[in-house]
Amino acid sequence: MDETGGRSMRARDKEVNYKEPQGNQGLYKIRTDTSHNKSREDESDSDSEAELKPRGGKRGKGGGGQAHRTKQSPPAKQAAYSPGDSLFMVVRDKVTAVPMAVTKWWETFAFQETDAVEQLATLILEASGSPARLSRDTFKPGDVDADEEVRVVLESPAATTEMVHDHMARSDKASLKLRRNLSEFWRKWVELAPRDMAAELQGNPFCKWLFAMSTSPHKHVRHSASIAGLAMMVGLASVSKDVAEELTNKHRQLAASRSAQSDSEAQKQKRKRLQEEVESLSGQKAMLENEAEALFNAVFVHRHRDTNDKVRAECIAALGEVTVLHGAKFLTNHYLKYLGWALHDCDSAAVRAAGLDAVSSIFEMGVGKELDMFLTRFGDRVLQMRYDKDLSVAEKAIGVAAELAKRDVYDDKHTALLYEMVIDEHPGVRRAAAELVAEVYVQGDLAKAYEDACKGATGKKRPDREAFMLKGMVEMLHSLAGDVEDLSPACEALGEAS
């Protein structure tokens, strides 16, 4: 593509290299120390993972107008929750009852540990569609090799019969709903747990079974267990964030108490109580973050390179969630690099899209220098993805690139490469590029140029804003389109974006 002359409507024939660039090949104004940046390690899809496994054991309402509204059918009512319902039945048919089922489970765990652990393991197997079941005696306290027990039961004749369902493999509405509900259950399982139980989650006897199933050669069981582990990680990040907010409040109350003029016995007792609460919350926060880190190492680190692209995409989506929930812990290059690697997944558009969605959600947090190293390493990849072979990914990439352009990550030359996409042959890509042009060029560069032109000008010498902006748009389009016919679709997209 000629980057200097006029162009006709551009066909998407440019090849995209999905391999991560070696070394520092950024195109940006940002300059940071990248001496410790490394190319992506050579990672296999092997399930030999014992070395990294942690310990086992214990829209707002529209206003105005009487616009016609189509009558909507009332939502279908779910059957009422019954204590006799299996956890899988709740997940599949009664998702609104998940909080009740989780609360009931923790009550059962307090006095019937074996039965409670069996229920969770059975949920993972049922959700996977496997007919295999682990016997109740397997979960009795003792020195049990969970990996071996899971391997044996999944290789048994009963496990090799026809699958009960294949919701882990399919992408129809019912399957997506089941996986979404399953994730919701496991997140609630952590969020509604007694705080001391959540802070020592690895000590829960179920976790060694979770880790064993998440590394199983049986792909559907592995998928079901991965959903559980990732959702638990998100739940721990959520609880940790809540504890951090409580801790901040207690620190503020303690500081106010110490600055009080009164030194009465009541004030002394209050300060002592607040100090104890601060110490308790600090300990809880540290333990919760350690549990989230352990799940990251036990599940995410292995499954983000799973042979199943659905699992890989779910890993990246979960990492995006925990980063947004608890940026103080997860907004570091140690975690962000996995999002950058996802942008290079040449086999799955879903994984690349999940990476872009995660990066976009992080931008919405209003972060600053925390992303400098990530952008230096992976910013050029975002720019390349405007040519992605999957059009929906290309649209997302242009949206993320717009955020980078607004933060002056790209210089003028490379921002102009994004403007060119308004003459792309695909309407969706043109619309995404038009929104970028409207935000970055019109509201940014042109608006600043107009303000500069107005400096010192008074009365009739002051340029008309509308005419000035229109002239700037025409000049930009003229530099991009070689034929008049190419202007029509570009102007239409820009009109919709304005």
Predicted pLDDT of residue 157: 81
- Residue 291 burial (CB count, 10 A): 27
Measured in degrees and rounded to the nearest 5, phi and psi for residue 447 equal: -65, -40
Instruction: Check whether 75 has a pLDDT greater than 80.
Output: no
Instruction: Check whether 27 has a pLDDT greater than 70.
Output: no
End-to-end CA distance of the chain: 28
**Highest-pLDDT range among 18-27, 56-65, 305-314, 367-376:** 305-314
Predicted pLDDT of residue 183: 96
Let me know if 306 is exposed, middle or buried by CB neighbors in 10 A (0-12, 13-18, 19+).
buried
Q: Which of 102-106, 286-290, 475-479 has the lowest mean pLDDT?
A: 475-479
Interior CA angle at 449 toward 429 and 490, to 5°?
A: 20
3-state helix, strand, coil in the chain (%, to 5): 65, 0, 35
Band (pLDDT 50/70/90 cuts) for residue 408 is: confident
- Residue 95 burial (CB count, 10 A): 19
Instruction: Check whether 395 has a pLDDT greater than 60.
Output: yes
Q: Which residue has the higher pLDDT, 400 or 266?
A: 400
Predicted pLDDT of residue 31: 31
The residue type of 372 is: D
Band (pLDDT 50/70/90 cuts) for residue 60 is: very low
b (16+ CB within 10 A) / e for 156-195:
eeebeeeeebebbeeeeeebeebbebbbbbbbbbbbbbee
Instruction: Check whether 363 has a pLDDT greater than 80.
Output: yes
C-alpha to C-alpha distance for 150 and 156, rounded to whole angstroms = 10
Instruction: Check whether 82 has a pLDDT greater than 60.
Output: yes
Q: Which of 78-82, 170-174, 328-332, 469-473 has the lowest mean pLDDT?
A: 78-82
Strand residues in 23-128 grouped as ranges (E): none
Average pLDDT score over residue span 60-78: 46
Instruction: Check whether 89 has a pLDDT greater than 70.
Output: yes
Q: What are the residues whose beta carbons fall under 8 Å from the beta carbon of 288, sequence distance 6 or more?
A: 198, 199, 236, 239, 240, 243
Residue 259's Cβ-side half-sphere holds a number of Cα atoms within 13 Å equal to 6
Q: Which of 73-77, 228-232, 467-471 has the lowest mean pLDDT?
A: 73-77
Instruction: Check whether 35 has a pLDDT greater than 50.
Output: no
Q: Which residue has the higher pLDDT, 245 or 48?
A: 245
Longest dimension (CA), the chain: 91
SS3 of 315-348: the string is HHHHHHHHHHHCHHHHCCHHHHHHHHHHCCCCCC
Q: What are the residues whose beta carbons fall under 8 Å from the beta carbon of 433, sequence distance 6 or more?
A: 386, 398, 418, 419, 420, 421, 422, 424, 493
Predicted pLDDT of residue 459: 61
Q: Which residue has the higher pLDDT, 380 or 70?
A: 380
438-467 tens-digit pLDDT: 777 777 777 777 777 777 666 667 777 777
Q: Of 408, 406, 400, give the one whose Cα is nearest residue 432.
A: 400
The average confidence (pLDDT) of the chain is 80
C-alpha to C-alpha distance for 351 and 340, rounded to whole angstroms = 11
C-alpha to C-alpha distance for 258 and 76, rounded to whole angstroms = 56
Measured in degrees and rounded to the nearest 5, phi and psi for residue 346 equal: -75, -15
Q: Of 302, 299, 360, 320, give the one whose Cα is nearest residue 124.
A: 299
Q: Which residue has the higher pLDDT, 376 or 480?
A: 376
Tell me the CA distances in angstroms from 302 to 124, 148, 306, 358, 475, one per residue in order. Answer: 18, 19, 7, 19, 51
Predicted pLDDT of residue 447: 72
Q: Which residue has the higher pLDDT, 117 or 19?
A: 117
Q: Are 92 and 196 in contact (CB under 8 A)?
A: no
Show the tokens assigned to 311: 């699992």
Instruction: Check whether 3 has a pLDDT greater than 60.
Output: no
Cα Rg of the chain (Å, integer): 27
